[in-house]
Structure 1
Amino acid sequence: MTFLNDLWASFQIFSGNFTDHYGLWVNGALLLLVLAAVGLFLWRSIRLGRRVRHTEAQLNLPEPSKKQNEEWCRKLSQAVSFPTVTGDKEAISQFRSWLKESFPLVFSRLRLLDCPGDGLLFQWRCPEKGKKGPVLLCAHMDVVPTEGQNWTHPPFEGEIKEETVYGRGALDCKGTLCGILQAVEELLQDGFAPGRDVYLAFGCDEETGGKEGAAQIAKQLKMRGLHFDLILDEGTPISTAHLGKENFPAALLGVAEKGQATFRLTARQKAGHAAMPPQHTAAGYLSEAICRIEAAPLHKRLLPVMQQCLLFSAPAMGSLQRAMVANLPFTRPLLFRGTRHNLQLSALFHSTFAATCLEGGSAPNVLPETASALLNARILQGDTGEKLLEYLRSLLDDLPVTIEMVSCQDPSAITDTAGAGYQLVKGAVEETFGRLPCIPTIMPAGTDTKHYQEFSDHIIRLIPLAVSDATLSAVHGPDEHLSCRSYTAGVIFYENLLKKL
């Protein structure tokens, strides 16, 4: 009622001013400004609506021959059968041996460069030296564990059912790795030679940070003084229904990825008997610290690349959402409020914190002297780990809680969508999948490209595999899978990309 009373009072003042000569002019000017603002809002909304109506989005999956389809999917099935969980060196070694047997031309005609650890780095030389810089294609061999998950298909048997390969790593990331190798194998068999040097980098521990794989490969790249015109790694997929809209497929090209930091919160209090507790225990102080952090999220910001992402995504939105996007940046507060329940999208507007591992007492009747928690932060471009550390300290400065930054990887640079690298990938997407919108976005999760930042200004993160939301949601979960048709189209994508170099 207070709001309605204030609104009525404002209306009375507004209408009362019409009896005054100067008030009439003031109110007339205000009315014109309001009408102009409304007109501009409607004009921008209608203009975007017209563009949306003329946007074509068609996903056409190319099909290889029946023999190729069976052979390629059989190899993916075999690849998935190796339990290459990060840290299992024996499984990784066996998988590397299988790769050598399954892709003999790659291993015999490309130069396998010496790298410490279990990662693989190949060089495919261009027969003629030209002015074009080299290109780096990346993937990783390791997968996450399956313990504690309820699988209806065996996770490490590579079962093929209804033209779909089931198993851990089918989508993340053996579909990409085998897709690259199969494409190169096919091109070598056809006598193809690339128009520039091509490097293939396959890490062995991406799921835990890449210190033994991509980091060691990066040392070799630096030692050779390499700088790439394009680095293409795993990332966001080709969505068969972008934002849930069935008739709007789109290729999401990750032009950047958020940084990542780990903070340790430690609360201290005198130890003692739980029968005589103080007003605040160490666990209580730690709980209050976590609650404060969750209750005070960092300020949201709309980066230019995310505004571009939203504009390109407008055809998948409803009328009200399109109107908000059409009138950015003026409608930012409404956009942030309207997307607060969309966790994936909301995370791309600010740096985030999440309490993960907790540690405290050793017995139910003993007050712990310390209680600690690990805080995982995902850092948006424009922020740094040091900036987040300063923010946490200011937020918790009156609590007996210490804050330590355990590790930090600041966010990546943002690849220019008008650059040659982005346009090269975009061209290969359109050639392979038809008139498919290519939408730039930011990766909320990390990839091996964090180790390759210094080697290129053009880094794209894309899984060139067409998947539904249901397929994507199975990544790192039970019954991970990939359709054979999607996989074979991915192989053809890499063939088309390599031919464009």
Structure 2
Amino acid sequence: MEAVENLRKYLKIPTVHPDINYEPVLDLLKQIANDLKLSVGVYQYVAGNPIIVLTWIGTHPSLKSVLLNSHMDTVPVIKENWVYDPFGGVVDAEGNIHGRGAQDCKSVGLMYLEAIRRLKNAGVRLQRTVHVLFVPDEELGGNKGMGVFVNTDDFRALNVGFAIDEGFANADNKFTISYSDRLSWKFVVDCEGTTGHASFLLNDTPGEKLTYFLNKVYELRDESKQKLKQDPSLSLSDVISANLTQLQGGYTSNVIPEKLTLVFDFRLPPTTDLAKFEESISRWCEEAGTGVTIRFLSKNQPYATKLDKSNQFWVAFENGIQELQVPYEIIVYKATTDAYHLRRVGVPCIGFVPLRNTVPLKHSDNEYLNTNAFLEAIDFYTKLIPALGNC
């Protein structure tokens, strides 16, 4: 089956950070575009990070277009933890397609393209132009991909009126739709202090300051866990997640380092009082002692897409789901995606993937997607794309 074979080919191309060669992906997408008679545009604003746009021109190209987005990059793998080769594109006896990116999110880009294949084979024409976008760097925040692309004349020339970006699979018999993302606040805390022989009990050491700040973070983390435990109506989208992701410092075992560095990844609900939150972490730095400083890697602001009758694309989308009689839930996305960058420049965007009865395996060992779920998602897009393209 062509759709499955194309996904297997895509999964066999390693696109894991930190060193990614996107050229094999570009070759594959050009081949598929040629088969589908879609035009191809390639943009590159940061070396080694191409942005690829496959375009199906509508009968009324002056109308606002529809953008279907996915990202090419994936998180790394620990191969020894995998039952199958994460870059083998293996299909097991149950029809599960194994590989890094099977859910996040190589399958998503091919769902769009394989749906367009079916529509074109059936002679369907759309009034609106449809752009299928493949971007790099999403897993690192998108600053070398979507983050820069949305600020260019090349992007503005796409005339986008509505976009769909990646979403979470749902383990139950329903779809999950997001209209906003939790906010990504990533920052570095440097703790400088007294250095000396590790046999001494010196004052004002970096480790003491680090401990104070880290305790504050984990107090906040515990508060979020307690909120989820005490109120079953809450989800991860409703609380702050806080995690230490990197710890750096020292050069030998018997010397107290002059500096220790911590890197944090916080995800905040869009309802968070950001000024108050920033005041809190600045105060933690002050209380930890002199020489404790903070620098931000990201400080996302809240943006949301309206899901009401004022958004004609949402009306068409919702009608499409209701016609299929598939239940759905509307959430704030638990993580942060390239949808953030689209909403930031005023493009209405939802996070969505038509995968139900599917265990979410984003970033997991042994990531896979069942063939039937993949094909059902393509079926859904053959109905949804015309609804959006003709609304």
Give the residue type in structure 1 aligned to 2:74. V
Counterpart for residue 230 of structure 1:
162
CA drift at 1:188: 2.1
CA–CA distance in 2 between the matches of 1:140 and 1:210?
9
The residue number in structure 2 matching 1:311 is none
**C-alpha contact 1:228 1:455 (8 A) present in aligned 2:** no
Q: Deviations over 1:407-446 (max 9, x none)?
A: 2242442222223333333333344xx3222211011211
CA contact (8 A) 1:298 1:350 kept: no
Q: What is the aligned partner in structure 1 of residue 380 from structure 2?
A: 493
Find out whether 1:468 has 2:358 as its counterpart: yes
Aligned counterparts of 1:479 and 1:379: Cα–Cα separation in 2: 28
1:13-412 residue pairs with structure 2 within 5 A? 70-90=1-21, 92-106=22-36, 109-116=37-44, 117-128=49-60, 132-147=63-78, 149-161=80-92, 162-220=94-152, 224=156, 228-237=160-169, 239-241=170-172, 249-279=173-203, 281-296=205-220, 338-339=230-231, 345-383=234-272, 387-400=276-289, 402-412=292-302
SS at match of 2:277: helix
Letter in 2 for 1:476: H
Cα distance change, pair 111–74 in 1 and its aligned pair in 2 (3 A): closer
Deviation for aligned residue 1:83: 1.0
Structure whose residues are more often strand by fraction: 2
CA-CA distance at 1:296 after TM superposition: 3.9
Question: Retained in 2: the 8 A contact 1:274–1:366?
Answer: yes
Alignment check: 8 A CA contact 1:103 1:185 kept: no
Aligned counterpart, 2:318: 426
C-alpha separation in 2, matches of 1:181 and 1:221: 25
CA distance in structure 2 between the partners assigned to 1:361 and 1:148 by the alignment = 30
Q: Distance in 2 between matches of 1:426 and 1:443?
A: 18
Which deviates further from its counterpart, 364-373 or 151-160? 364-373
2:365 to 461, 471, 478: 478
Contact 1:205 1:212 in 2 (8 A): yes
State the match for 1:414 in structure 2.
304
In structure 2, runs of 5+ residues without a counterpart are none
**What is the CA-CA distance between 1:139 and the residue it aligns to?**
0.5
Q: 1:127 to 1:166 in 2, by over 3 A?
A: same
Task: Find the residue that maps to 1:229 and give its secondary structure.
Answer: strand
Q: 1:429 to 1:105 in 2, by over 3 A?
A: farther
Q: Summarize deviations over 1:166-204 as a string: whole Å, max 9, x none.
A: 111111111101111111122222322212122221102
Q: How many residues align?
A: 379
Distance in 2 (CA, whole Å) between partners of 1:352 and 1:240 is: 22
Deviation at 1:358, TM superposition (A): 0.9
What TM-score, normalized by structure 1, do the two folds share? Answer: 0.69
Q: In the TM superposition, what is the alpha-carbon distance from 1:273 to its structure 2 partner? A: 0.8
Structure 1 stretches of 5 or more lacking a match? 1-69, 242-248, 301-333
When residues 251 and 291 of structure 1 are mapped into structure 2, their CA distance, relative to the original with a 3 A threshold, is: same
Contact 2:96 2:368 in 1 (8 A): yes
CA-to-aligned-CA distance 1:198-226 (integer Å, 9 cap, x gap):
22211022112223322343244566355
Residues 378 and 335 (structure 1), Cα distance of their counterparts in 2 relative to 1, 3 Å cut: closer
C-alpha distance in 2 between matches for 1:226 and 1:79: 26
Output the amino acid matched with 1:426. E
Q: What's the CA shift for 1:366?
A: 0.8
Deviations 1:293-313 (A, max 9, x none): 22146988xxxxxxxxxxxxx
- CA change 1:454–1:364 in 2 (3 A) is closer
Partners of 1:139 and 1:203 within 8 A in 2 = yes
DSSP-derived class of the 2:209 partner: helix
Q: Which has the higher helix share?
A: 1
Quote the offset at 1:152 in angstroms: 0.6
Tell me if structure 2 keeps the 8 A contact 1:137–1:231: yes
- Give the 3-state SS of the residue equivalent to 1:405 in structure 2: strand
Structure 1 distance, partners of 2:59, 2:285, is 61
Normalised TM-score (structure 2): 0.87
- Structure-2 change in CA distance of 1:220 and 1:282 (3 Å): closer
**Structure 1 runs of 4+ with >6 Å offset:** none
2:340 aligns with: 450
Contact 1:384 1:411 survives alignment (8 Å): no
State the AA in 2 paired with 1:185: R
Distance change in 2, residues 1:477/1:351 (3 Å) = closer
- Cα distance in structure 2, aligned partners of 1:426 and 1:280: 59
Measured after TM superposition, the shift of residue 101 of structure 1 is 2.2
Deviates more, 1:447-456 or 1:165-174: 447-456
RMSD, matched Cα: 2.7
Q: How far apart in 2 are the matches of 1:337 and 1:466?
A: 25
Identity of aligned residues (%): 22
